[in-house]
Chain A
């Protein structure tokens, strides 16, 4: 139920404090994802969602979704505390959290706006994994020898690697060299790194790799050959 913001009153006895960072994160969330959970109100006073109300007000929202508290008045105080406390008692499943953040990062989303500071994200990176399900079979298949790549690639050369295409050309100055290969659904990858064909992206789409440096192009081919295209999650 949409309620005009001006008809609502923040709870004068709210036991939860919301600092600026908290409000900013909620503002980001409301702006990006919308309001997915309604406020709970009784007689116009907000029992649940006081910070959401503040954030919505600062965003200039005229109204907000709210539902009435449908229990007896004597249950109000207890409800307000247990609602906050029950959320507070939850903990993060670190492995899953890291995995989700990793996926968001890979999708190019700014995880800095989800409520973690850079320092907190860095601390999370250093956290000891609770489980690491890898037998390193693919890592062990890579040849880590410093020096020239085994595969010699020349400028202007086009190499088919499975369904993918590697073009050794300047992505900016030699556009005709790769543009003709690009089809709908392909992923255009200029200046790709050496493990590009081992990423999940390479499973999902055909990659058009345009690498001006024959040295890096040679390494891309070497890595592809070493892993024999085995870039699927086991």
Chain B
């Protein structure tokens, strides 16, 4: 079995990682210190300082390669479908060489100090294997990503039987109905494999995660407090309803906006805590 690098503990309970730009993460960190940071957020010169501060504060950091973001911005700029951008030769994506260079630097700098590092999940199965091997040959141990929409089930089995943890990506492109079937299938295929942890990329904790006990997920939905929808409270991870408008930040007021971000972080922290409580009360067999 191949071990992925990082400070993770396979016995820890469910973790919800806050996905967001770095400035949001830093505002949220005192309230909820598990975050997903994409490498494209670390392109500035002082990236080490930001990471060091978060690591020193005890934050759980999942580093994402930022490949999705690069492909998406390439697709937008050249007005091509996102799926087409994903299939392109990696080197031809705008900004890809710079991103990869920084990704390699981040891995070398802190892959053992962060919670984990997500692999560069672009291209098909062959391309992903090739890229991962390239990093593994140079001492990197990123977490491989399975894309249910596109990758084969044989590839899923290969990852589950080879790695101590994996990520599942691009679930948003599956319909809500298909998503549940996919999640159930992954859990069933995982039985008996050495894989101890599955992280769902871009998935918000909801009642679905009461039924399907994946170990962690990330999303930017916690930032709804400073988006149009505002904070939506949950019971048993199911939406109960929104809060009145005066719980939303005041447009143009930075201080109020900061409070909104903090409120989102606190909500995320309680969401995580509530799911942990639920799983304790209803253990998965």
**Inter-chain contact A144/B259, CB cutoff 8 Å:** yes
- A136 CA to B270 CA in the complex, in Å? 22
Pairs across A and B, CB under 8 Å, 6 listed: A105-B229, A118-B172, A124-B228, A132-B251, A142-B259, A194-B267
Q: In the complex, which residue of chain B has the Cβ closest to the Cβ of A122?
A: B172
CB neighbours (8 Å) of B270 from chain A are: 193-194, 216, 219
**Stretch of B43-51, B114-122, B239-247 contacting A (4+ beta carbons < 8 Å):** B239-247
Residues A218-234 near B (CB distance < 8 A) = 219, 231-234
**Inter-chain contact A106/B228, CB cutoff 8 Å:** no
A132-B251, A133-B245, A191-B235 known; A98 vs B172 contact (CB < 8 Å): no
Q: In the complex, which residue of chain B has the Cβ closest to the Cβ of A133?
A: B245
A105-B232, A108-B238, A136-B259 known; A216 vs B244 contact (CB < 8 Å): no
**Inter-chain contact A173/B281, CB cutoff 8 Å:** yes
CB neighbours (8 Å) of B228 from chain A are: 95, 98, 102, 124-125, 127, 129
> What residues make up the interface of A, taking CB atoms closer than 8 Å to B?
95, 98, 101-102, 105-106, 108, 110, 112, 118-119, 122, 124-127, 129, 132-140, 142, 144, 146, 170-173, 187, 189-196, 198-201, 209, 211-213, 215-216, 219, 231-234
**Inter-chain contact A193/B271, CB cutoff 8 Å:** yes
User: Does B161 interact with chain A (Cβ within 8 Å)?
Assistant: no
User: Shortest Cβ distance from A171 into chain B, in angstroms?
Assistant: 7
**Inter-chain contact A144/B266, CB cutoff 8 Å:** yes
User: Shortest Cβ distance from A147 into chain B, in angstroms?
Assistant: 9
**Inter-chain contact A195/B231, CB cutoff 8 Å:** yes
- 0/1 interface trace, chain B 80-103, chain A, CB 8 Å (1 if under): 000000000000000000000000
- A135 CA to B260 CA in the complex, in Å? 12
Which of A98, A106, A234 makes the CB contact (< 8 A) with B241?
A106
CB neighbours (8 Å) of A194 from chain B are: 233, 266-267, 270
**Inter-chain contact A134/B249, CB cutoff 8 Å:** yes
- A86 CA to B234 CA in the complex, in Å? 41
- A98 CA to B224 CA in the complex, in Å? 12
User: Does B191 interact with chain A (Cβ within 8 Å)?
Assistant: no
Quick one: which of A142, A199, A215, A232 has the most chain B CB within 10 A?
A199
A112-B175, A125-B224, A146-B31 known; A198 vs B232 contact (CB < 8 Å): no
